Amino acid sequence: MPNPPSERFRGRTAVITGAASGIGAATAHRLAAEGAAVILADVAPAGTDIAAEVRKLHGADAEFVQFDVADESGWSALVDRVDADILVSNAAIADVRPVLEHNRESWDRHLAVSLTGAFLGARAFLPGLRRRGGNIVVTSSVHALIGIPAHPAYAAAKGGLNALVRQLAVEYGPDVRVNAVVPGPVLTAMWDRVPPDDRERSADATALKRLGRPEEVAAAIAFLGSDDASFMTGSTLVVDGGWSISKASA
């Protein structure tokens, strides 16, 4: 990861969900490298190792808290322990199948983790964020903008996040800023099941002709969470290498 440009987050505490891998883990590293104390939240126990890496590499305060973001009691316990300046709602799941192959359990779980989890986190931390002049950054997706086969539940959850971001920004400004980062094809563990040929096609569909890296999305999250984005709220910042701006036609 490139050296961060500053210590923009010195003295601030960030809570990051979905932090055991991918964009969440990269965000924990980025914010810690810029001076933040970080709380890594995830249902996966691998978050323990990520927190240890953050402490070792950046000398930062980093703690892992294992809980399910769809569990309201987990949020209640966390907010009782942590005064956050930044909440990064990044947790998500992706069960790739068309509508007729989705069952109700899968549909409900997508919305519970990606959308309801963000709502519960915002509701828990908003009182403190209002007092501290903090902000929320949500990880959405280009699936919220463009229909892609076999992702109905994922897309519905991400589209709901974009709407939730606008709503929170309107209701809680000027005290709290709320923005979303909208990644395109970024090489995370979710891509492990994607065959090499399909990865190549996805990369070729971007203007930059490559897949993104989690660290590149983390840099955008750090920007939105910093005072450098002080006049941004209710925004959806697309980070997709130009994937969404051009499509080949017959």
Q: How far apart are CA 55 and CA 40, in angstroms?
A: 12
Adjacent-strand bridge partners of 63? 39
Q: Which residues of 6-44 are buried (b: 16+ CB within 10 A; e: fewer)?
A: eebbeebbbbbbbbbbbbbbbbbbbbbbbbbbbbbbbbe
Adjacent-strand bridge partners of 236? 180
The DSSP line for 44-90 is STTHHHHHHHHHHHH---EEEEE--TT-HHHHHHHHHH---SEEEE-
Q: Any idea which residues carry the catalytic annotation?
A: 154
Can you state the angle between helices 22-33 and 214-225, rounded to 10 degrees?
50
Query: What is each CA distance from 139 to 118, 134, 228, 239, in whole angstroms?
Result: 10, 17, 19, 11
* CA max distance for the chain: 57
The SS3 call for residue 177 is strand
Residue 1's H or E segment, with its range, is: none
